[in-house]
A and B are shown apart, each in its own frame.
Chain A
């Protein structure tokens, strides 16, 4: 028994990755019989146990382990597949497992009765396999493969209800935009390979990795490589201006949105940047910071006026990802990973709770035959009465997102903001804009999530329906949500509710910042943020619950926010239409010029052919036919002699005799 439990971390980690893959294969083979999803559930459960017990506990704060297996050789270079286990990867793998498990349980009742549920489990397992593989890859090539696979699984799941036109458009959009990022990632890999000649993360970034020894290539090259990697992360982590796919990705099932498009896959970009962090030089880091900051700001702004509950959450995800990206840009990637971890829990919970609400709204819509959008928060209100547990759970998650004390979000957000301020102070005046913007963004965050809570759960129910049958979500859904809610409190991450320094995740990475610590900030900033959030919530309470809404609903700024800054329209005009125009032009060129040339050649050949056919028919065949015809005619002339009539024969015979006689006479 003891030998059974003695699983080495590497083997355990491989099992963690392969179990969902096995589940995926089994679900694929089962086809429509695999409706229960038990196989996927068991696989992810085992993965979670293995990941926690045999990988995380073994590796965390221990020496990193890397294991290689030669895969293929090109020339003298051998490419490996392998597992890298260090603090970063095991933490990420554990987060993915722990988030995926509740989502699986939740899905069992959320997706119940869906006609395509067997596909759902299949895709979900595929995603888990790819995501878990991505986290523990020890080289960039392998990581890229899994990176593509998660993108593909995400594509499949966004378009899960593929009969809906909007879902099809959304998954196409997600796929195309992610291609841009993938191209960046690939170029990044190529650049790194050409500079250092290796793709292995340990060889590159390890304790005595190439990056510390080899004289750096030219600054331009390094900047290019860094920007390429960041481009990959931008698309996957929905950073401005490539964020447009994420709000549309909400067309997928809510459970999927919570797992893939809130907690894990979109954080893969942050994970990637953390993995290759030593690669970035000052310029790239500054670009990363600025982009992250812009993303955080505009996404928070767009979230303000959205009406769709899931889109609010989607923009909130984008905004929080912006926070993480900023944290990476300022060098505090440990803080980014910390925020990634805390965000995964509360954002997943927010989505699952929203899913529960949507579930009930859909039932209400079907029961009353209403023509409403079940996700529109303007149709909800006062749901607290019917769904108290969901309300409390969602409230906890919202408080965590808004960064109220005692929650996990408070710690991680402070970690990022305080580091950002220290960074800003260290670099000087203009750089302070970044932390200031982030402060405003976190207050905006508090406001929009407050708005969501108030509009959905407080006030009066806004729909005029006869039969209001809204009730609490089932136990299968509440259980996972409760677990996530517990994980949204501070004690999961640190024993100290007020200072982030004691968080075990930050301790695990033990990063030295290039800028000094400012002690006063650690006291002032949390107070300012909390006060700001409280003010934002009380403002929201006044506006939405007491209905003293001061603004005109058709305000230009609100319109801009609701329409996501018209970015989609801009992209449509700029890229989609111009691509279509270009392809139309190319089509014309193809049809008229290329095809025209080919057709011209064709008709010339045909003309030649016709000429030679004429020669053949009339000259060559003509000669032969003339000879043949002549022979035939001569034969025909003689043929009538042999006509079978006795008298004629006799006549001929007589004629010949006569001729003979005449000849004899004349001789």
Chain B
């Protein structure tokens, strides 16, 4: 039987993959993808824990809410990347170091 632990493991895996993508990818799009992974890991957790709230389905509602927010965040993220590309002619985060002193 699929227990809560299985969900949490998958979620942890997703989170790790997402984290790896965010930290190690040399392409801003892939980082965005990594962020999606992390968000989805979080959503998966929300849904998994949602079974303890069978009256209000707070977890599932919150998951939907988070998906919408994630979509909006992706849109904003893509817009940022586009602007970054316009400015730096690259979307490799290695090459964008303006934040340093």
Question: A residues bordering B, Cβ < 8 Å?
Answer: 642-647, 649-651, 654
Contact = CB atoms under 8 A, between A and B. Distances in A.
Interface string B78-95: 000000000000000110
B43 interface: no
A647 B100 contact: no
A647 B24 contact: yes
Contacts of B23: 647, 650-651, 654
B48 interface: no
A648 to B, nearest CB: 8
A646 B93 contact: yes
A654 B22 CA distance: 11
Interface residues of B, number: 13
Given A646-B96, A647-B22, A650-B22, 5 more contacts: A642-B100, A644-B96, A644-B99, A644-B100, A647-B24
A475 B24 CA distance: 123
Given A650-B23, A654-B19, A642 B101 contact: yes
15 contacts: A643-B97, A643-B100, A644-B96, A644-B99, A644-B100, A644-B101, A645-B100, A646-B96, A646-B99, A647-B24, A647-B93, A649-B99, A650-B23, A651-B23, A654-B23
B97 A645 contact: yes
A194 to B, nearest CB: 91
Given A650-B23, A651-B23, A644 B31 contact: no
Contacts of A645: 93-94, 96-97, 99-100
B98 interface: yes
Interface of B: 19, 22-24, 31, 93-94, 96-101
B32 to A, nearest CB: 12
A645 B98 CA distance: 8
A210 B99 CA distance: 109
A539 B19 CA distance: 143
B86 to A, nearest CB: 18
A647 B91 CA distance: 13
Contacts of B31: 647
A102 B100 CA distance: 104
Contacts of B100: 642-645
Nearest to B28: A646
Contacts of A643: 97, 100
B94 to A, nearest CB: 6
Contacts of B98: 644
B2 to A, nearest CB: 26
Contacts of B101: 642, 644
A11 B100 CA distance: 101
Highest count of chain A CB atoms <10 Å: which of B93, B94, B96, B100: B100
Contacts of A644: 96-101
B33 to A, nearest CB: 14
A647 B20 CA distance: 10
Contacts of B93: 645-647
Nearest to A639: B101
Contacts of A651: 23
A380 to B, nearest CB: 106
B54 to A, nearest CB: 30
Nearest to B19: A654
Contacts of A654: 19, 23
Contacts of B19: 654
A647 B93 CA distance: 7
A634 to B, nearest CB: 16
Contacts of B99: 644-646, 649
B21 to A, nearest CB: 10
